[in-house]
A = this chain, B = another copy of it.
Amino acid sequence: MCYTSRVAALRSNEGERLRHILERAARVICQQGFEATSMQEIAAACGLTKAGLYHHVKTKEALLLAIMHYGMDLFEELVIDRVSGIPDPLERLRATMARNVELVTQDSSKEVTIILHEHQTLTGDAQREINERKKRYVRFLEEALREAIERRLIRPVDPTLAAFSFLGVVLWTYKWYRPGGRLAPGELASGMTDLFFDGLLPR
């Protein structure tokens, strides 16, 4: 299924209601952590009774899975779909970093934060589903890196090591960045891209 249409599917009436639940639930889980948050608190945050919440999601784990899919949908719509058509692999990588930093530093980052923080909370098939979508992003980066190496646009680094270093720079942001501080999201995006591609040493 195309991820953009998955987000679009949430724009129907029932979809709109579910999206509202996922966003409210994400906010409270993001603040308190998944284990420490009860379905009662999530229902209250959504303006629903507990029975009303269970009408939409069968279990707390199913709710977490739905939030993570929604976060991956947002990520793919706002990052991947907008950069995957860039033919130059180096420009594609730069644009991916800039857009991903911006996503993590905006308010819509709460679903993404949950994907990152609760990386060992899901189990079984649910964990495999989300891990498969995450791995697709790692492969997307590795392929762009390989292509850039072949075209001698970048140095012959290990693509896996470079992909995870790229992700480290970008995704660690959720741990320390607070909006309204000295560095605006745009400055962070351009500063990190400059640093990662050009390195610390003078040229």
Residue positions of A touching B, CB distance < 8 A: 33, 35-36, 116-117, 119-121, 148, 152-155, 157-158, 160-162, 164-165, 167-173, 175-177, 182-183, 187-188, 191-192, 194-203
Contacts and interface: CB of A to CB of B under 8 A. Distances in A.
Copies of chain A in the complex: 2
A90 to B, nearest CB: 8
A174 to B, nearest CB: 10
B33 A157 contact: no
Most chain B CB inside 10 Å of its own CB: which residue of A148, A171, A196: A196
Contacts of A33: 35, 120-121
Given A168-B168, A168-B172, A183 B196 contact: no
Contacts of A162: 195, 200
Given A160-B182, A188-B161, A200 B196 contact: yes
A36 B36 CA distance: 9
Contact of A203 (B148, B153, B203): B203
Contacts of A177: 164
B165 A195 contact: yes
B168 A173 contact: yes
